[in-house]
C-alpha cells in the first residue's frame, strides 16, 4: 500500500487519513484526536470499535467507547474533589450513580491540526490542544496546559506519542488513560467469544462500592490469573472494572509491556504495547454484549491525587511549571 496522509470531510467532520504498510488509520481532530479507525487491510482486521454507518454521530455521543480516546483527567475523582500539592479543585459531579467526576474533558474537545505529512514509509499526523480560560472547564480547573498528539503509521502499525506540558504557574496533576475500545471480533466473520486477552499483571487493585480504591493491592485469584495465561474471555461475559497493577510480560521471547489479544480460530493477534509509565490497567466491556472491550492503561491509580497512600502505590505525580511528560503507545497485528 502506498504511504499517504491527507484530510477529508467525513460525515461532515474534518478527519485525517493515514495509510502505510498494510494499515489504515483515521483520526478525528474535532473529537479529541480520537483514532476512530485502525485497520489491517491485508488481514481484513478492524482493530478498533468503529461504527461504519454513523461513525461521527456515535463518536460524538459516546467518545469513551469508540476508537482510541485519550483521557485527561481520567477515571473517577471522589465527589469531584481533586487535591494537588498546592491547591484543591472542585470538579463537576458527572457520574450521578456514584457521585464522582469521571473522565475529564480533553477527549471531547476540538483539536488543532499541526502537521500532516509522509516521510519514507511513515504517514504522520500531529494535533494539539491549548487548555486555558477559553475552555468552559477552566472555571473548575484553572491550570493552563498544552496537549500534543503525534500519530505515526508505518509497516509496524500505529505509534502514538502523547505529551502534556504545564503552561501554568501551578502544580499540574499528571494522570493519563487511554480508554481504547477493541473490536470483538476483529474480522467480519469472526466470533467474539473466541477472542482471548492477555495482560501481565502483578496485583489486583481493590475498590469499594463506588469503584474507588481502598488502597489494598491483593494477591491474584484464579480468576485474575486468566489475564496472565491469556485465557480471559472478553465478549458475552461481563467485565466490570477489573483493575490491576501491571508488570513486564513477553512477546516472541522478548520483554513486552502491554496487552495481547488473540483470535483463537485464526491465531491472528492484536498487540497493544504501552509506555511503562502506565502503571495500572482497567479492564471493562460495558456488560459484554456490545462486541467490544477496553483494556485501559492508566498512569496512576483511580482517584490518586486524593489518596493518602505513597506515590509508589498510587503512581501519582505532578508536573511543575513548564515541565513536559510524554508517553508512547504502539498497536500492531501479529
Q: Residue 270: which residues within 8 A CB-CB, separation 6 or more?
A: 45, 47, 182, 186, 260, 261, 331, 332, 333, 334
Q: Residue 229 is part of a domain; what is its CATH number? A: 2.70.98.10
Q: Is the pLDDT of residue 146 over 90?
A: yes
Q: Is the pLDDT of residue 21 over 90?
A: yes
Q: SS3 sequence, the chain? A: CCCEEEEEEECCEEEEEEEECCEEEEEEHHHCCEEEEEEECCCCEECECCCCCCHHHHHHHCHHHCCECEEECCCEEECCEEECCCCEEECCCCECCCCEEECECHHHCCCEEEEEEEECCEEEEEEEEEECCCCHHHHCCCCCEEEEEEEEEECCEEEEEEEEEECCCCCEEECCEECCCEECCCCCCCCHHHEEEECCEEEEEEECCCCCEEEEEECCCCCCHHHHHCCEECCCCCCCCEEEEECCEEECCEEECEEEEEECCCCCEEEEEECCCCCEEEEECCCCCCCEEEEEEECCCCCHHHCCCCHHHHCCEEECCCCEEEEEEEEEEC
* CA atoms of 43 and 231, how far apart (whole Å): 23
The verdict on pTM exceeding 0.95 is yes
Angle at 32 between CA 27 and CA 37, to 5 degrees: 30
Say what the pLDDT of residue 1 is.
Answer: 82
Which domain covers residue 302, as residue numbers?
A: 4-333
| Residues 249 and 271: beta-carbon distance below 8 Å | no
Angle at 60 between CA 151 and CA 181, to 5 degrees: 55
pLDDT by residue (tens digit) across 267-317? 999 999 999 999 999 999 999 999 999 999 999 999 999 999 999 999 999
Rounded to the nearest integer, the mean pLDDT of the chain is: 97
* CA atoms of 317 and 114, how far apart (whole Å): 28
Q: Is the pLDDT of residue 32 over 90?
A: yes
Whole-angstrom CA distances from 208 to 24, 235, 261, 320 are 41, 25, 29, 32
Domain count, the chain: 1
Backbone CA torsion sign across 29, 67, 16, 11:
negative
pLDDT by residue (tens digit) across 230-279? 999 999 999 999 999 999 999 999 999 999 999 999 999 999 999 999 99
Report residue 47's pLDDT band, with 50, 70 and 90 as the boundaries.
Answer: very high
- Provide the grid cell at 135: 475552555
Q: Is the pLDDT of residue 4 over 90?
A: yes
| Residues 283 and 292: beta-carbon distance below 8 Å | no
Amino acid at each position: 500500500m502506498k504511504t499517504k496522509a491527507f484530510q477529508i470531510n467525513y460525515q461532515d467532520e474534518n478527519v485525517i487519513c493515514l495509510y502505510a504498510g498494510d494499515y489504515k488509520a483515521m483520526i478525528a481532530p474535532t473529537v479529541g484526536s480520537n483514532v476512530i479507525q485502525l485497520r489491517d487491510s491485508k488481514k481484513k482486521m478492524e482493530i478498533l470499535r468503529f461504527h461504519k454507518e454513523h461513525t461521527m454521530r456515535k463518536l460524538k455521543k459516546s467518545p469513551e467507547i469508540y476508537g482510541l480516546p485519550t483521557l485527561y483527567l481520567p477515571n473517577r475523582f471522589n465527589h469531584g474533589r481533586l487535591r494537588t500539592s498546592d491547591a484543591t479543585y472542585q470538579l463537576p459531579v458527572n457520574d450521578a450513580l456514584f457521585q464522582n467526576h469521571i473522565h475529564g474533558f480533553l477527549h471531547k474537545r476540538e483539536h488543532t491540526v499541526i502537521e500532516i505529512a509522509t516521510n519514507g514509509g511513515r504517514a504522520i499526523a500531529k494535533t494539539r490542544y491549548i487548555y486555558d480560560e477559553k475552555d468552559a472547564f477552566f472555571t473548575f480547573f484553572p491550570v493552563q496546559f498544552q496537549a500534543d498528539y503525534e500519530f505515526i503509521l508505518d509497516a509496524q502499525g500505529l505509534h502514538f506519542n502523547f505529551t502534556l506540558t504545564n503552561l501554568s504557574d501551578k502544580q499540574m496533576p499528571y494522570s493519563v488513560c487511554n480508554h481504547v475500545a477493541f473490536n470483538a471480533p476483529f474480522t467480519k466473520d469472526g466470533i467474539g467469544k473466541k477472542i482471548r486477552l492477555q495482560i501481565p499483571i502483578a496485583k489486583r487493585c481493590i475498590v469499594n462500592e463506588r469503584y474507588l480504591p481502598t488502597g489494598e493491592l491483593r494477591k491474584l485469584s484464579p480468576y485474575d490469573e486468566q489475564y496472565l495465561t491469556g485465557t480471559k474471555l472478553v465478549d458475552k461475559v461481563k467485565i466490570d472494572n477489573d483493575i490491576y497493577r501491571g508488570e513486564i510480560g513477553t512477546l516472541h521471547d522478548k520483554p513486552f509491556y502491554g496487552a495481547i489479544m488473540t483470535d483463537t480460530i485464526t491465531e491472528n493477534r492484536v498487540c497493544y504495547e504501552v509506555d511503562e509509565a502506565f502503571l495500572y490497567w482497567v479492564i471493562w466491556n460495558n456488560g459484554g454484549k456490545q462486541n467490544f472491550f477496553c483494556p485501559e492503561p492508566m498512569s496512576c491509580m483511580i482517584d490518586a491525587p486524593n489518596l493518602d497512600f505513597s506515590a509508589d502505590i498510587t503512581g501519582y505525580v505532578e508536573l511543575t511549571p513548564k515541565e513536559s511528560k510524554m508517553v508512547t503507545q504502539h498497536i500492531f497485528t501479529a
